[in-house]
Homo-oligomer: A and B are copies of this chain.
Amino acid sequence: MSDGFGLDHLPYAVFSTQGSAPRVGVRHADTVVDVATVRPQLDRPTLNEFMALGPDAWAEARAEIAGLVGSDALPAYPVDDVALHLPFVVGDYVDFYASLDHASNVGRIFRPDQEPLLPNWRHLPVGYHGRAGTVVVSGTPVVRPCGQRKGPQEEMPTYGPSRRLDIEAELGFVVGVGSELGSRIGVDEFPRHVFGVVGVNDWSARDIQAWEYVPLGPFLGKSFATSVSAWVTPMAALAAARTDLPAQDPAPLPYLAGGHAFDIEVEVVLNGEVVSRPPYRTMYWSPAQMLAHLTVNGASTRTGDLFASGTISGPEPETRGSLLELSWGGKEPFAGDRTFLEDGDEVVLRYSAPGTGGGRITLGDVAGRIEPARP
């Protein structure tokens, strides 16, 4: 598993070895390199202080670390021998809805008689706030949530475990340098603020969500857990993955003009089998547009804010990033007889992208196993 972890990648995590305090490490080949001595801000149990230093400091530290890994200057541990922790303290968590194919599919499944896209969708990156306190690191078990569900044929809601537990394969962006209340982050200012990316699985209980979400949006159908990768890939490692956005029609308002896509491949692995390959490059809204929109009303941002893309789905059936879409609302089983998640299922989201060294880099994956509902 050392592929994709060369000197052109060097993602960050917070790790500990037995009996030692959590601190920042960098992945190189099959090892976690302890970089706590490189900067005082790296000798911390979260990346926040380091991320707050800004892009010049990120670049200097990255260059210095690249010169030290593989030497004897820094301790290195086999990656299988360390514990990985949530890599940053999450400020606010915002989830967007930036895939045209995903939004269209959801519209067709839930509102088959209407236009699949709602009127605002092509004008702004639709998004909402999720629960920051339940963002968990990859590997954390996910307990099947309970709540109120009411099917269209049922007269009254009932209480019980979710019967339509789902994944959402997403990409997340981590704010390093925040912004003041009353100010805005222009599309071109994205590199000054965003430190890196994480993989995101926005677990979703579709039955709970369907009953609760009007008129104020998803709440308990999402807030039980959102998993992120332990590894944060710095934006610098994605320089070769930058690509053009798909055409945007109509042209966005001037405050939203600009930004670019990233050519990141995603694999959805269900119990060891790849069931979908969502392509991030097909996303309609760029992350720079998402951040510009998020702050256009003067909302401040903080170090550790996380904003995610929403489900990544491409145009072909085998590129859909949720089980809701892969099973078309549960009506068309995929991969044999699969629809929604069963207890014991394990989902792993894998991500890779072109690296600056000519090969590919492997972003941090996001794993989670479903545990039965608690009585």
Question: Is A216's CB under 8 angstroms from B128's CB?
Answer: yes
Residues of the B chain whose Cβ atoms lie less than 8 Å from the Cβ of A374: 182, 298
In the complex the two chains form, what is the Cα distance from A235 to B340 in whole Å? 43
Q: In the complex, what residue of chain B is closest to A134 when comparing beta carbons?
A: B299
In the complex the two chains form, what is the Cα distance from A129 to B124 in whole Å? 20
Stretch at the interface among A218-226, A316-324, A351-359: A218-226
Question: Is A297's CB under 8 angstroms from B126's CB?
Answer: no
Q: Which of B143, B218, B219, B296 contacts A182 (CB 8 A)?
A: B143
**Which residues A131-176 have CB closer than 8 A to chain B?**
131-134, 136, 143, 145-148, 150, 156-159
In the complex the two chains form, what is the Cα distance from A157 to B255 in whole Å? 13
Chain B nearest CB from A220 CB (Å) reads 4
Stretch at the interface among A16-24, A193-201, A205-213: A205-213
With A130-B129, A181-B225, A298-B374 known to touch, is A159 a contact of B216 (CB < 8 Å)? no
Question: Is B129's CB under 8 angstroms from A128's CB?
Answer: yes
In the complex the two chains form, what is the Cα distance from A220 to B131 in whole Å? 16
Q: In the complex, what residue of chain B is closest to A123 when comparing beta carbons?
A: B157
Q: In the complex, what residue of chain B is closest to A141 when comparing beta carbons?
A: B182
In the complex the two chains form, what is the Cα distance from A373 to B255 in whole Å? 15
A43 at the interface (CB under 8 A from B): no
Number of copies: 2
Stretch at the interface among A6-14, A71-79, A300-308: A300-308
Interface string of A91-113 (1 = CB under 8 A from B): 11011010000000000000000
Chain B nearest CB from A257 CB (Å) reads 11
In the complex the two chains form, what is the Cα distance from A219 to B218 in whole Å? 12
A118 at the interface (CB under 8 A from B): yes
A40 at the interface (CB under 8 A from B): no
Question: Is A132's CB under 8 angstroms from B131's CB?
Answer: no
Q: Which of B123, B215, B253 contacts A217 (CB 8 A)?
A: B215
A191 at the interface (CB under 8 A from B): no
Q: Which of B129, B217, B254 contacts A223 (CB 8 A)?
A: B129
With A182-B374, A296-B146, A296-B147 known to touch, is A126 a contact of B302 (CB < 8 Å)? no
In the complex the two chains form, what is the Cα distance from A249 to B220 in whole Å? 22
Chain B nearest CB from A126 CB (Å) reads 6
Q: Which of B212, B215, B225 contacts A213 (CB 8 A)?
A: B215
| Interface positions of A (Cβ within 8 A of B) | 91-92, 94-95, 97, 118-120, 123-124, 126-134, 136, 143, 145-148, 150, 156-159, 181-182, 205, 208, 211-221, 223-225, 250, 253-255, 293-294, 296-302, 305, 374
Chain A to chain B: the 6 pairs with minimum beta-carbon distance, closest first: A217-B217, A145-B297, A128-B216, A129-B129, A224-B297, A216-B217
What are 17 inter-chain pairs, A to B, with CB distance below 8 A?
A: A92-B131, A92-B133, A120-B157, A123-B157, A124-B148, A128-B129, A128-B218, A133-B299, A143-B298, A146-B298, A158-B253, A159-B255, A208-B297, A217-B217, A217-B218, A220-B294, A224-B298
